[in-house]
Structure 1
Amino acid sequence: MAILNITRLAFARKRRKLTKKQLAEIAGISHVTLSRIDKGVTLDPSDETVSSLAKALGYPVSFFYLDDIDELKEDQVSFRSLKAMTARQTNAALASGVLGYIFNDWVSSKFNLPEPDLPDLRVEDPVSAAAAIRRHWGIGFRPIPNLIKLLEAKGVRIFTLAEGKNVDAFSFWRDEVPYIFLNTLKSAERSRFDAAHELGHLLLHAHGYHDGREVEREADQFASHFLVPREDLIANLPSISSLAQLVASKHRWGVSVAALARASKDADLITDWHYRELCKQIATSGFRTNEPESMPRESSILWRKVLEELWKERFTKESIAAQLSLPLDEVDSLLRGVLGGRATLERETSPPSLHVV
């Protein structure tokens, strides 16, 4: 006889950001009944009770009878805004990371996905690490036209973080596979910088994250030099006279006007005083919240290709969710932002290598 897995019940409750009291009320059961189940006192709750809990959580009943979940811990993940996050937001975000690797593990059983190609750069400073990974990947000082495509080709799994604006991007390693979750509610430029920032964490702080301004500063410095190499910046923007010039030039590197101003300061193309003046103009122009002349949002090529191949095998998102014993909305939220919000996926001219196992 199958026994209810109380760790999965707790997982789903945290993912839905519910307290035990709230879950009991929504499910229409007593708090005492739920408490006895949660503590393992009631090992075999009635089918009706489990059904009510599953419905309240929006998860299929089968989810609660599978093996334990390998959950993520806070110290395994790089959270940029951990201090600003509530415990519920943190738990829900960690749970989304788990859902990401559950999906990845299932896809990996069917396809040979790109192998990770991220060297260990923990001994490097952020600037040297940015140059080192560009050399390692053979991209020199050229601008990166599609960062998500590049990261996926190098074995990074990119998913959507659907936790709202209060939770920033985060990253982690699991079983030697790197993951990045992006908040796609931000501008395309901010999402690109977030992706580069998380790449910095994966390279510089691999397998161990420490909350603090220093590691965040290092990841920001890495992202700036990775996206806007000093050599290319000086060659293409040797002098800066106005904010309008930055707005007109930022598309070459795919960064925000604020990020380009900072990169210009770090490259000694503008003085500290000029940089402060530009920051004031950026703020008064509203460009910190509304990016001027924003670029199109990048989208995943890997998951697009995976879904195309699965469709050939008659796998829909609904059937994928059923295979994983997950709600459709959870599978959809993992991919929706990085797929550009489209259900119909066109082919890329040069997708990552993808082979059926």
Structure 2
Amino acid sequence: MVAVFNPQRLVLGRKRRKLTARALASAVGLSPITISRLENGANEPEDETIQALSRALDFPQSFFFAEEVDELPAEAASFRSLSSMTAKERDAALSAGVIAYLFHDWIAERFNLPDTDVPHVRDATPEATAQIVRANWGLGQQPISNMIKLLESKGVRVFSLCEDTKNVDAFSCWRNEQPFAFLNTFKSTERSRFDAAHELGHLVMHKHGAPQDSRQAESEADRFASAFLMPADDVVSRIRYVSNLESLIQGKKRWGVSVAALNYRLHKLGVVSDWQNRSLNVEMSSRGYRRQEPEGLDPETSALWPQVFATLWRERITRDHIANELHVPTSELDGILFQLTARTKSESEKKGRLRAI
């Protein structure tokens, strides 16, 4: 069967590289109108054009002739931050999500992955919703040791956002009945854990549509994350008053959150007064704790993906092999799995192995 050029793949590759049609046209020596016609399927590219597109976008030529892919429209994703994000940054992150879809589907054909167990809660406050999710998952009031592993165990497919910008924090989405979360793993572990809980809030509360005011949706997800990571009863029973910033730094270790997040939670719970809250925030800023978390945690890693790769390696299947089958550069797989697979092979094997289909 003769391979047919897929215009959708050209759009995907261009957005992944944060290029406008005009910028791509300049890079390959074509007119913007020609690029537009290629993306609309009105023109069939010559071999020389395919080669030029492949070089400019750093995707193999086979990428442009592969099958249609599920798109990830902006309205389907709940972004952690929208105000400072450019359209190029948003589209590049969404395109990374589409590549994650391709990888996930390739893996799902070969392995039994955890079933989805993410409840949908409506008409409850974010704080009450956090309690409902904890109860459904049998977590009680105990701290959560690893957010990534918890989400994976409940069927959320967690991927990394290895973007070269600080404006893309995280986002999540439902694809049919499968939840996905994309986290910025360059951040401190404490902030990444909060992002993971924030995205869980979106998945639980906003599957059937977030409020039209995106700021309200983000506020709800923040409140959910704060209550989910720091259950009120546990926090109040252990911290009855705050004498200084050092006591917060010691206290935050129990819940694996940033010192700022714990201060915020204690303020909302009435343990920290308005005056203390302002004073502590000023001191945190002066010490640089907004940029560098004091006594930071080690990065969290995936339990799922190391097991998958350990099993594949026994069959001599590498990331390069998978990338070749998906018609993408290996660097794209490295990006969506960055830091998540940091555990060594021997450690992942100790945790048990997934059963291949």
2:219 matches 1:217: yes
Output the amino acid matched with 1:53. L
Between the aligned partners of 1:335 and 1:20, the Cα distance in structure 2 is: 29
Partner residue, 1:19? 20
CA deviation after TM superposition for structure 1 residue 6, in Å: 0.9
Q: Identity, % of aligned pairs?
A: 47
After TM superposition, list the pairs within 5 Å mapping 1:61-210 onto structure 2. Answer: 61-163=61-163, 164-209=165-210, 210=212
**Residues 1:123 and 1:240: Cα distance change in structure 2 (over 3 Å):** same
* 1:37 Cα deviation after fit: 2.4
Do the aligned partners of 1:192 and 1:254 also contact (CA within 8 Å) in 2?
yes
CA–CA distance in structure 2, aligned partners of residues 321 and 290 of structure 1: 35
Letter in 2 for 1:139: L
- Over the aligned positions, Cα root-mean-square deviation in angstroms equals 1.7
1:5 Cα deviation after fit: 0.8
1:319 corresponds in structure 2 to 321
Find the aligned partners of 2:200 and 2:32 in 1 and give their Cα distance: 44
Per mean C-alpha deviation after superposition, the further-off stretch among 220-229 and 161-170 is: 161-170
Matches within 5 A, 1:25-40: 25-31=26-32, 33-40=34-41
The structure-2 alpha-carbon separation of the partners of 1:23 and 1:239, relative to structure 1 and needing over 3 Å to count, comes to same
Cα offset, 1:83, TM superposition: 2.7
Structure 2 residue corresponding to 1:284, chosen from 267, 283, 286: 286
Conservation of the 8 A alpha-carbon contact between 2:70 and 2:101: no
d(CA) in 2 for partners of 1:244, 1:337: 30
Q: Unpaired segments of 5 or more residues in structure 1?
A: none
SS in 1 for 2:159: strand
Asked if 1 retains the 8 angstrom alpha-carbon contact of 2:80 and 2:195, the reply is: no
Describe the shift of the 1:167–1:345 C-alpha distance in structure 2 as closer, same or farther (beyond 3 A): farther
- Counterpart CA distance in 1 for 2:336 and 2:128 is 33
Q: Which residue matches 1:253?
A: 255
Counterpart of 2:241 in structure 1 is 239
Helix, strand or coil for the counterpart of 2:347? coil
Q: Would you say the 8 A contact 1:75–1:208 is kept in 2? A: no
In 2: Cα distance, 1:133 partner to 1:228 partner: 13
User: Quick one: distance in 1 between partners of 2:246 and 2:172?
Assistant: 34
Q: Does 1:227 align with 2:226?
A: no
CA distance in 2, matches of 1:255, 1:118: 22
Provide the residue aligned with 2:297 in structure 1.
295
Distance in 2 of aligned mates of 1:89 and 1:277: 35
Residue 33 of structure 1: how far off its partner (Å):
4.1
Q: 1:110: Cα distance to partner? A: 0.2
Contact 2:122/2:205, CA 8 A, preserved across alignment: yes
Sort the Cα spacing of 1:36 and 1:77 in 2 relative to 1 into closer, same or farther, 3 A.
Answer: closer
* Post-superposition offset of 1:22: 2.2
1:173-231 CA distances to partner (integer Å, 9 max, x unpaired)?
10211111011121110000000000000001114344521111111111011001111
TM-score normalised to structure 2 length: 0.94
Equivalents in 1 of 2:254, 2:36: separation in Å? 57
Q: How many angstroms does 1:28 deviate by?
A: 4.0
Kindly provide the CA deviation profile for residues 307-357 of structure 1, in whole angstroms up to 9, marking residues without a partner as x: 1111111111100101111111111101013223x6857326445x73211
TM-score, reference length from structure 1? 0.94
Closer, same or farther: CA 6–228 of 1 in aligned 2, 3 Å: same
Give the Cα separation in 2 of the matches to 1:356 and 1:211.
44
Give the conservation status (yes or no) of the 8 Å contact 2:162–2:338.
Answer: no
Which one is further off, 310-319 or 19-28? 19-28
Cα distance change, pair 220–345 in 1 and its aligned pair in 2 (3 A)? farther
Cα distance in structure 1, aligned partners of 2:223 and 2:33: 51
Q: Which amino acid aligns with 2:84?
A: A
Say whether the 8 Å CA contact 2:306–2:345 is kept in structure 1: no
In structure 2, list runs of 5 or more residues that go unmatched. Answer: none
> 1:305 touches 1:347 (CA, 8 Å); kept in 2?
yes
- Counterpart AA for 2:81: S
Secondary structure at the counterpart of residue 329 of structure 1: helix
Whether the aligned pair in 2 keeps the contact of 1:171 and 1:198 (CA below 8 Å) is yes
1:5-16, aligned counterparts within 5 Å? 5-16=6-17
SS at 1:277 equivalent: helix
Task: Return the letter of the residue paired with 1:309.
Answer: T
Separation in 2, partners of 1:335, 1:165:
18
Structure 1 contact 190–255 (Cα < 8 Å) conserved = yes
